[in-house]
Amino acid sequence: MTEAIVKKEISSNIARISSEGASYVDVRFYIDDSSETLVLYDGDLEANDTTVQSGIGVRVLWDGAWGFAASSDPSGLEACFDNAAMNARTASRLVKVPLSMGKCDAVKGSYTTPVEIDPFTISLKDKLSFLSRMDNDLKEDFVIKRIVYAIFHKMKIHFQNSEGSEINKDLVSVFGTMIAMALDSDGEMQRRSMSLYSTGNGTAGWEMMTNPELFSGHATRVKSELSELIKAEPLEYGRRSVILQPGQGHLQVHETIGHPLELDRILGYELSYAGGSFVNLDSFGKLRYGSDKLSVSSYGSIENSPGSFGFDDDGTPERDYLLIDRGILVNALTSRAMVNEANNKAGRKIFQQSGGAARATSFYRAPIDRMTNVNILPGNDGTEEDIIASTEDGIVVDNPVSWSIGSNREHFHFGCEIAWEVKNGKKTRILRNPTYQGHTLEFYASLSAVGDESTWKVEQVNNCGKGEPNQVMQIGHGVPVIKFDDVITGERK
Ligand SMILES: [Zn+2]
């Protein structure tokens, strides 16, 4: 069946199921969903995995209940719609809180990831020789393990719903990571790594990997930092300032701002799996989440990020809006149905419209609320050097090695790859095994410096997991260098 015929059949089936009594129907037709993962261990090819899939996911809302069905067989389209409708009708008999999508105008649009070189046009041979060169750059006598990997992903998706919306998306994302490991003087394994990032601007294709600033030029630095790390003293326990580089800051934001602000989580839909949120419906407009220096946005259309997709899986166009405005919580990461449920529960209109956060990982999974690009906005405290210069006693940390987060995201403990000691405004020596911990709200209240645009990077996340059954999602976080004061660091002996 050609693409055009499938699209036509989708339209007629949406009309049919709507006329039978569905209050809302939508369809995501994944014309192509391909990925390629290449992993080198110590220069040897450890994995060369490719996936190619296509299919259709149908959602039907009937008397306040969702039904979902999916098929990879285009000739089974009609049955797929019937299954989704039957599932919804069955579920509607048990509904306690009826769901509603509200009313929205039809949306016609398209979104294409800006790409200079489609990574799928680069031959396997060329990709492997590039990765081998990267691996070679990490080689040194003291390095006992080297890992270099790359992941390429592309999706061509057609969306239609019963409101007349029609959206086409062509998405490409590229991930790259290099890791070098060595033993320290206590025989403990230390690692230093670097992952491909973007400035938020520019194109998101193969050219990112070969860009020395964004990825390929960092091997020498990674190696030399590791050589110092294995000779370094461990960080001693104590309260001090902690300066997070974006390599660490993005995970801080992801775990303690992104996840707790997903509205389905706030409404209790994730309690059986990854947990809840300390945020509740009364928090919006009131809760002081952090100091005046903390402003956080959600934006699913940053020019260059794996969390950019233009329109979410409810068909909502992405907009740039604030979640936290100068320290005050003002909005959440939302989908249409969750916005309606939250407003009904609260008996007032907390949320004016969907934040465009309904996303599914594939055609055979139904969309759930999940963070788009959640970003800390750049501040007025200058460069990283300026922030260090204004720090009496602290550490600069980068890249996570361990994380542990309370089920309601109210507290956390992170271990990082590396720390640089800061004394009286100067970076002094490297310290190993740095950790820091805190209570989310107290921690963000202690945010005392936010770096300017020059420190802001979009870090990429290729494996955020959520939902039952699990859905793995790709996103980005734009984060500047950020400083927190009086933080518990290191481990008490
Ligand atoms: Zn996550």
Q: For every one of its 493 residues, what pLDDT tens digit does the chain have, with 9 covering 90 and above?
A: 789 999 999 999 999 999 999 999 999 999 999 999 999 999 999 999 999 999 999 999 999 999 999 999 988 899 999 999 999 999 999 998 899 999 999 999 999 999 999 999 999 999 999 999 999 999 999 999 999 999 999 999 999 999 999 999 999 999 999 999 999 999 999 999 999 999 999 999 999 999 999 999 999 999 999 999 999 999 999 999 999 999 999 999 999 999 999 999 999 998 887 689 999 999 999 999 999 999 999 998 999 999 999 999 999 999 999 999 999 999 999 999 999 999 999 999 999 999 999 999 999 999 999 999 999 999 999 999 999 999 999 999 999 999 999 999 999 999 999 999 999 999 999 999 999 999 999 999 999 999 999 999 999 999 999 998 999 999 999 999 999 999 999 999 8
CA of 371 to the centre of ligand 1 (A): 8
Taking the centre of ligand 1 as the mean of its atom positions, its distance from the CA of residue 129, in whole angstroms, is 32
Q: How far away, in angstroms, is 407 Cα from ligand 1 center? A: 13
* Residues, beta carbon < 5 Å, ion ligand 1: 464
Cα(253) to ligand 1 centroid in Å equals 10
Q: What spacing in Å lies between the alpha carbon of 476 and ligand 1's midpoint?
A: 11
CA of 370 to the centre of ligand 1 (A): 9
Instruction: Kindly state the helix (H) or strand (E) to which residue 340 belongs, with its residue range.
Output: helix 336-346
Which of 457, 396, 493 has the alpha carbon at shortest distance from 208?
457
pTM attached to this predicted model: 0.97
Angle ∠(271,277,283) on CA atoms, nearest 5: 135
Per-residue CA distances from 264 to 106, 297, 339, 340, 358 (Å): 24, 18, 9, 11, 10
Residue 302 CA, ligand 1 centroid: distance in Å? 19
Number of Cβ atoms within 10 Å of the Cβ of 112: 12
State phi, psi for 205 to the nearest 5 degrees. Answer: -95, -160
> Distance from the CA of 493 to the center of ligand 1, in angstroms?
31
Distance 475 CA to ligand 1 centre (A): 9
Cα(300) to ligand 1 centroid in Å equals 16
Distance 225 CA to ligand 1 centre (A): 28
Distance (Å) from CA 80 to ligand 1 centroid = 31
Identify whether the C-beta of residue 265 lies closer than 8 Å to the C-beta of residue 371.
Answer: no
- 75 exposure class (CB count in 10 Å sphere: 0-12, 13-18, 19+): exposed
CA of 464 to the centre of ligand 1 (A): 4
CA distance 214 to 202: 11
pLDDT of residue 274: 64
Region for 382 from its dihedrals, namely left if φ exceeds 0, alpha if ψ lies in -120 to 50, beta otherwise: left
State the distance from the centre of ligand 1 to the C-alpha of 324, rounded, in angstroms. 19
User: What is the C-alpha R_g of the chain?
Assistant: 24
User: Would you state the pLDDT for residue 173?
Assistant: 97
Please, how many CA atoms are within 13 Å of residue 427, restricted to the half-sphere of its CB?
13
Of all helices (H) and strands (E), which one includes residue 369? strand 368-369
